[in-house]
Chain A
Amino acid sequence: MSDLYLVSKNIARNKLRLVLNTFAIIIAFLLFGVLGSINNAFNAGIELSADDRLVVVNKINFTQPLPLSYVEKIRAVEGVKQATHANWFGAYVEGSKIFFAGFAVDPATYLDVYADYLTVESTQRQNWQQNRQGVLIGEKLAQTFGWKMGDRIPISSNIFSNMDGSHVWDMVVEGIFTGAESQADTNYLLFHYKYFIETQTFGSDWVGWIVLNTTDPSLNDQVANAIDEQFANSFHETETSSEKQFNKSFLEQLGSIGLIITSVVAAAFFTLLLIVGNSMALAIRERTREIAVLKTLGFSAKHVFRLVLSESLLLAALGGILGLLLAQVLVQGISQAPQIKNMLPNLVLTSDIFIQAVVYIVVLGLITGIVPAYRAMQLNIVDALSRR
């Protein structure tokens, strides 16, 4: 009779209890999988940011403009490999309530600065660069609206007015870009800066922010200081930080998302420990006589310890894996909703979370099983058999 057979018989002995415990564990790991993915999605901007990329914004605040002339000046700073610029557009499609990011960028240089992040097929890229009204659509955004190559699409802005009095810009889909990694955000569009700046009504020759690559990440601080010093005491002072810092400080403004998520997951696991731990203890207490019999039959104390511990581990694994599978299905489902795509474009259950969960499964199994297993190991045969 193999140990596995014994363990599985034991675990399924009280079917109802098995179902209830498994269910409680499924819920906890489902929460862990979904909330962990959400937390990761919030942090993806930080994780995926390139080490050599710096962001230059107006020192007052990143919503304030910078002069276009700064781009050339920044290109001339020592240690700057290449630089480009972007303007926030506040895009939406008339009639839909779905807002998404749109950037008016310099078509000649923007894709080079983000070469590690975005991938565009080279003919599409050329076509886009040559068409003043051309737009590059992110893969996820294209899916949401069903846009295809060659489509003429009217894009509205909730910030800017077109010179023709409307808020609508007509664009032609010249290409669809994809992210280099699965978590990369592709829920936005890129169109020509010239087309934007020459048709909008709010001043001219200004940009939202400037992005650059340094020749070497070790030069980042030096380059950032050189840029900020150059524009110190000018009308538009700058603040240069690494892409990572920039994304992080933006995220922090939303509030302590990480803390909230960790607290909820911790609360869920805490209740789970109480429920399953107690239930395991009870199950072993109920089987006191059986364990005594096993020992009488010649099972060593260590063997009994192993059997009980395997039982709690098996239970944790059963619920944990089912919970993770459910989380995967759920995450995939909700990441398709347009609102979620817009807010959390990077929502996927990554392998990190899966690995973490496996660690928690083992920990859960050990914690809930260790006391009952120890008791079973220490059990005195005579006492146990005479107990009623």
Chain B
Amino acid sequence: MFAQITSIISMNIRSIPQRFWMSLATVVAVAVVVAVLLAFLAMANGFRTTLQGSGSDELAILLRTGSQAEINSVLMREQINVVSESPGIARDEQGPLISPELYLIVDGKKKDSQIKANLPFRGIDERGLELRPNMRIVQGRMFEPGKNEIVVGEAIQREFSGFEVGNTIQLGRAQWQVVGVFSAGGSIFDSELWADVRTVQNQFERGNTVQIVRAKLTTPGDVTAIEETIKSDQRLNLDVKTEKAFYQEQSQGVSDLIFYLGWPLAIAMALGALAGALNTMYNSVAQRSGEIATLRAIGFPGLPVFFGTLFESLVLALLGGLLGAVAAYLFFDGLTTSTLGSSFTQVVFRFDMNADVLLNGVILALVIGFIGGFFPALRAARLPVLLAFAAAA
């Protein structure tokens, strides 16, 4: 039986060149569908990786209640003083490990398209830098407090024009000198401009206010002590969450959108490709009806005939799936792009095509191949011998 199945499968596959154009059409159709799906999934995955790589469990982020994004939040000096004494926030000899940060939006221009885009401009102090151990200067030096100096993230320098070290740029009324480029390990901070918090407060008339406070937690992941403090004090209308949870929420919307746009599109297109696959396979069965009838007449049971057709379809679909995956990988993987994140600012991210994403593409191809082969295979296996001969004649 097994020998019968393998011999019929190999017969089927060797007969593919007889239906070259139709088979090729199926392969290409499946390849296109898989490539489209993979492009969307890689985009969703890349966006998620960038944002989730940004958040740490060791830090808490404090925002004004209900503000959800850094840009919407505002905190007064008094609130910061009160909350920084809260249990749950780590301290060292200089006091609580907190970083009040100013966050505002400035305009930049994309290098490739010259499109004006919103860039996040973060005011930060030395403590803030201490709280981000994964951040390092890769070119030039760090800004000096009190001076109009900025350092820019790697992604900003790559994607937007005018941020070379040594350049002077106008942000607001003042001129700022770019003194360094930093890397934050592919996280969202790579898409930011940083400067000394007090200098930014002065230049942008922000008084003593900031947007958010980052704080080092005594126990990683545990913000309950800070929540207690907030609840017990009327002045503190704040939300607190771990940095990790914060960026997880931020990534959810956009990556869900891409994900839920990608799958229905791919499924709709897969249905179209399925129609093509069914067409091809029914045609294959019709073309080989004489051959099938002969096999049945000399004693082959229906099952090997069934598997022969099913496998032919699976092979075509798999070929298409691999072709689509390779094409998508070569074309999209690592491609950088940017979109608006939830703070209304550009987030630069890469298409990230990992094994999971590729596997999804191959599975989709196999599903098309399976359904596209199953029904024609059923017809082949049930073909009455006499009718088949008549049809072939």
A interface list, Cβ under 8 A from B:
16-17, 20-21, 23-24, 27-28, 30-31, 59-61, 63-64, 90, 156-159, 161, 165, 167, 202, 235, 237, 249, 252-256, 264, 267-268, 270-272, 274-275, 277-279, 281-282
Contact = CB atoms under 8 A, between A and B. Distances in A.
A28 B272 contact: yes
A167 B66 contact: yes
Nearest to A239: B107
A30 B268 contact: yes
A61 B105 contact: yes
B278 interface: yes
B118 A267 contact: no
Contacts of A20: 275-276, 278-279
A157 B65 CA distance: 10
A165 B233 CA distance: 13
6 contacts: A16-B282, A60-B171, A252-B113, A274-B25, A274-B29, A275-B272
Contacts of A167: 65-66
A158 B66 contact: yes
B338 interface: yes
Contacts of A253: 115-118, 339-340, 346
A324 B118 CA distance: 38
Given A253-B117, A274-B276, 16 more contacts: A17-B279, A17-B282, A20-B276, A60-B204, A158-B68, A161-B237, A165-B237, A237-B173, A252-B113, A253-B115, A253-B116, A255-B337, A255-B340, A275-B26, A275-B29, A278-B276
Nearest to B235: A165
Contacts of A64: 104-105, 204
A156 B72 CA distance: 13
Contacts of B346: 253
A364 to B, nearest CB: 13
Given A21-B275, A271-B272, A61 B340 contact: no
A252 B115 contact: yes
Contact of A271 (B33, B64, B118): B33
B28 interface: yes
The 4 closest A-B pairs by CB, nearest first: A275-B276, A27-B272, A24-B275, A274-B25
A21 B279 contact: yes
A23 B28 contact: no
Contacts of B340: 253-255
Interface of B: 21-22, 25-26, 28-29, 32-33, 35-36, 64-68, 71-72, 74, 104-107, 113, 115-118, 171-173, 204-205, 237, 265, 268-269, 271-273, 275-276, 278-279, 282-283, 337-340, 344, 346
B158 to A, nearest CB: 16
A60 B106 contact: yes
B71 A267 contact: no
A267 B36 contact: yes
Contacts of B339: 253-255
Given A31-B268, A165-B237, A202-B74, A60 B172 contact: yes
B66 A156 contact: yes
Given A61-B107, A264-B36, A23 B118 contact: no
Contacts of B64: 161
Contacts of A237: 173
A288 to B, nearest CB: 15
Nearest to A271: B29
A369 B275 CA distance: 19
A17 B64 CA distance: 62
B124 to A, nearest CB: 19
B25 A268 contact: no
A271 B21 contact: no
A31 B33 CA distance: 13
A271 B74 contact: no
Contacts of B276: 20, 24, 271, 274-275, 278
Nearest to A279: B279
A20 B36 CA distance: 22
Contacts of B74: 202
B110 to A, nearest CB: 9
Contacts of A235: 173, 205
Contacts of A30: 268
B251 to A, nearest CB: 16
A268 B113 contact: no
A264 B268 CA distance: 11
B105 A63 contact: yes
A249 B107 CA distance: 11
Contacts of A165: 237
B370 to A, nearest CB: 17
Most buried by B among A157, A277, A278: A278
Given A60-B171, A237-B173, A27 B113 contact: no
B1 to A, nearest CB: 30
